[in-house]
């Protein structure tokens, strides 16, 4: 089944064509980062307007790259939250229009479920139960997955998401937007123990909290040597180290009760090199199978939405034209 995926939840206008939930025929992503950079973060109204301008050319490009026409599309999957509601509305309206005019089934996909399905594009033979850590600019969730579409949220952030903390600290350091990838680059030259920082919420719960770390990093910036390139690299490396350490420790704690066949690392922050290597080491020691998508499938894209949509459509899930631009992760 050929599924067209549409993703407009934040500042990426994306469309993709995926076959049978596993084979990417095209994956087009038009980033708006340069538009929002001068504001230091995403401006919701500008994001929505840019999606209106770019979505149709991006859809054309996705079909061209897949060497297909609209007539070949057998199902339409679209992100319907969480995200910026104005931005989401653009994608949802376009998906409804296509479904209606082509007479094809429509399915709404929760954005977090989409991030999880980037793993199925990476390794097709994932077996359950799976344990997913979803780390993005807006979420930090530990989710047990018993089967396709069956999720249980085990823990999540009580305040900032890990990516949000990275972006805000990077901004205070005068780095570009988005800050996560900038910190990743800078930290490669630094000492991960060079600047002492607290392990954020390193307790027995499976919840996270990153707002205190933001304050600690801002204090370190005030007291440290923010103009010294090697100190800045140490700060970037230390920051990523404490964040990754807590994310990995809590994932391993959750794994003791879930006993997963597979651990999945998902979301934009899964592109982070420190997190990838600490998670690989921890899963390696305990002989857990770990799946981490390539960075381009970790950050927002529509291929993951098409993949998740395919599995929903295969279970006969259909949405109608009343589909809302907002959803929670479906729990079961
Ligand atoms: O999943 P995503 O593309 O969008 C949301 O759903 O939020 O995640 C974006 C987040 C941003 O906070 C960005 O700074 C972070 O992922 N990010 C990274 C890296 N690449 C993206 N954080 C750390 N290291 C990276 N290499
Ligand atoms: Zn995302």
Ligand (nearest to CA of 179): 1
The whole-number pLDDT of residue 146 equals 96
Q: Give dist(CA 128, CA 154) in Å, integer.
A: 16
- How many CB atoms are closer than 10 A to CB 266? 28
pLDDT in tens, 69-80: 999 999 999 999
Q: Would you list the DSSP string of 68-82?
A: --GGG--EEEEE--S
Span from the CA of 138 to the centroid of ligand 2 (angstroms): 8
pLDDT tens, 285-318?
Answer: 999 999 999 999 999 999 999 999 999 999 999 9
- Verdict on whether the full-model pTM lies above 0.95: yes
Contact assessment for residue 17 and residue 307, using Cβ atoms and an 8 Å cutoff? no
CA distance 254 to 258: 6
182 secondary structure, DSSP code: H
Q: Among 3.30.420.40, 3.30.2130.10, 3.20.20.60, 3.50.30.10, what is the CATH number of 2-115+297-314?
A: 3.30.420.40
Q: How long, in residues, is the chain?
A: 332
Nearest ligand 1 atom to alpha carbon 139: 7
The answer, yes or no, to whether residue 56 has pLDDT greater than 90, is yes
CATH 3.30.420.40 in the chain is located at: 2-115+297-314, 128-293
Q: Does domain 128-293 have CATH number 3.30.420.40?
A: yes
Residue nearest to atom 11 of ligand 1 (CA): 137
Q: Supply 65's token pair.
A: 């790259």
Task: Classify the C-alpha dihedral 201-202-203-206 as positive or negative.
Answer: positive
pLDDT tens-digit readout, 192-226: 999 999 999 999 999 999 999 999 999 999 999 99
The closest-lying atom of ligand 1 relative to the alpha carbon of residue 299 is 3
> What's the gap in Å between 131 CA and the centre of ligand 1?
20
Residues forming a β-bridge with 319: 106
């Amino acid at each position: 089944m050929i599924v067209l995926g549409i993703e407009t939840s934040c500042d990426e206008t994306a469309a993709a064509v995926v076959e049978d939930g596993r084979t990417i025929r095209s994956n087009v992503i038009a980033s708006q980062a340069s538009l929002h950079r001068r504001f230091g973060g995403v401006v919701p109204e500008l994001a929505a307007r840019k999606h209106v301008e770019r979505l149709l050319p991006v859809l054309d490009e996705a079909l061209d790259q897949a060497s297909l026409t609209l007539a070949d599309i057998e199902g339409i999957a679209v992100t319907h939250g969480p995200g910026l509601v104005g931005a989401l509305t653009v994608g949802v309206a376009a998906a409804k229009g296509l479904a209606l005019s082509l007479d094809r089934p429509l399915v709404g996909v929760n954005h977090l479920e989409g991030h999880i399905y980037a793993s199925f594009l990476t390794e097709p033979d994932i077996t359950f139960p799976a344990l997913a850590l979803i780390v993005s600019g807006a979420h930090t969730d530990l989710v047990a997955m018993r089967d396709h579409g069956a999720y249980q949220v085990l823990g999540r952030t009580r305040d900032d998401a890990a990516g949000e903390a990275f972006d805000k600290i990077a901004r205070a350091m005068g780095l570009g937007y988005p800050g996560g990838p900038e910190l990743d680059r800078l930290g490669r030259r630094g000492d991960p123990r060079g600047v002492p920082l607290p392990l954020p919420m390193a307790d027995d719960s499976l919840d996270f909290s990153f707002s205190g770390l933001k304050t600690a990093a801002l204090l370190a910036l005030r007291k440290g040597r923010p103009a010294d390139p090697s100190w800045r690299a140490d700060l970037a490396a230390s920051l990523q180290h404490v964040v990754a350490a807590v994310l990995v420790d809590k994932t391993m704690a959750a794994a003791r009760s879930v006993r997963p066949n597979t651990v999945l690392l998902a979301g934009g922050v899964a592109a982070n090199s420190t997190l990838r290597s600490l998670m690989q080491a921890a899963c390696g020691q305990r002989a857990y199978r770990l799946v981490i998508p390539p960075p381009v499938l970790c950050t927002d894209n529509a291929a993951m939405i098409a993949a998740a949509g395919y599995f929903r459509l295969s279970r006969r899930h259909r949405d109608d034209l009343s589909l809302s631009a907002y959803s929670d992760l479906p729990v079961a």
